[in-house]
């Protein structure tokens, strides 16, 4: 049975001390029990060691990115093996902001996926369409290419360590809203793509998260959809009460 996962992407927010306070607040809530199978936070690189030490495995800690090479002269970058050696278990790859602001291509992301899995990290692979792509009715085409070129080179065994996150970029910070039915439509499409590329068991085993402005108000309706297995949360993950409400929206 696939996991129910709620993951919080802190992006470039919070100081280390602010992050530690948030971790402590989350631990108090988690100790009382939550509905999600996994609660993951993705802090900035500089926070990771402190968050791992304080999360004490009650909350999982992931990185927001990794480099596509195992090591070398890449000033300012962090490798997947460095993350794994710091007891990081998950890494985000292909987030819409990395694609848009840092020009990350599907081919580059395929290399990052490979190096992350080789370091025994669980990959949270992001895909999704922009507003122009949605308005041009190209969203299925875009998502198919993102998955086919960036992810489907993996073996079935490797896919067991992959989570997929769907980000409707057009519904993030634009004032437009993706309905739960729209989310389900795309999640079902993604699961069918996995089925076509692999098998029924792989398709039914992969968790697919929704990353389009999920919050305590809409999480329950979103998570009630059969192919929505949780959320990749942005702003709402910076407030413990909101994040926990979402983690209990099953």
Given this model, what pLDDT does residue 101 score?
A: 97
Given this model, what pLDDT does residue 238 score?
A: 97
Q: Cβ(164)–Cβ(201) under 8 Å?
A: no
Given this model, what pLDDT does residue 22 score?
A: 98
Q: Which residue has the tokens 């968790």?
A: 207
Query: Catalytic residue positions?
Result: 95, 167
Return phi, psi of residue 10, to 5°: -75, -15
* Tokens representing residue 211 in the block: 């990353």
Given this model, what pLDDT does residue 78 score?
A: 98
Range of the domain at 36: 5-247
Residues of the chain with pLDDT under 50: none
- Positive/negative CA dihedral, 51, 11, 6, 221: positive
- Positive/negative CA dihedral, 206, 96, 55, 224: negative
Q: Cβ(168)–Cβ(208) under 8 Å?
A: no
Q: Based on the structure, what is the number of domains in the chain?
A: 1
* Tokens representing residue 126 in the block: 């992001």
CATH of the domain at 224: 3.20.20.70
Given this model, what pLDDT does residue 175 score?
A: 62
Note the pTM of the prediction, 2 decimals: 0.97
- How far CA 176 is from CA of 104, 179, 186, 213, 233, in Å, comes to 25, 10, 17, 10, 17
- How far CA 78 is from CA of 46, 65, 72, in Å, comes to 11, 8, 10
């Amino acid at each position: 049975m696939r996991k129910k996962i709620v993951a919080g992407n802190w992006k470039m927010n919070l100081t280390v001390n602010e992050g530690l306070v948030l971790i402590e607040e989350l631990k108090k809530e988690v100790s009382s029990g939550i509905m999600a199978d996994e609660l993951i936070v993705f802090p900035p690189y500089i926070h990771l060691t402190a968050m791992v030490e304080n999360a004490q495995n009650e909350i999982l800690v992931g990185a927001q990115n990794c480099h596509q090479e195992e090591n070398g002269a890449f000033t300012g970058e962090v490798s997947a093996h460095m993350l794994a050696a710091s007891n990081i278990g998950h890494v985000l790859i292909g987030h819409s902001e990395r694609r848009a602001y840092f020009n990350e291509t599907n081919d580059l992301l395929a290399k990052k996926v490979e190096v992350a899995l080789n370091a025994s990290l669980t990959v949270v692979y992001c895909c999704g369409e922009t507003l122009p792509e949605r308005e041009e009715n190209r969203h299925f085409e875009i998502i198919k290419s993102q998955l086919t070129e960036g992810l489907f080179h993996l073996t079935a065994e490797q896919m067991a360590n992959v989570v997929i996150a769907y980000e409707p970029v057009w519904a993030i910070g634009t004032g437009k809203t993706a309905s739960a039915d729209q989310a389900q439509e795309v999640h079902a499409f993604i699961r069918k793509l996995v089925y076509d590329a692999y098998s029924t068991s792989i398709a039914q085993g992969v968790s697919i998260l929704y990353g389009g402005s999920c919050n305590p108000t809409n999480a329950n309706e979103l998570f009630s959809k059969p192919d929505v297995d949780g959320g990749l949360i942005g702003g709402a993950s910076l407030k413990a009460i909101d994040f926990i409400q979402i983690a209990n929206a099953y």
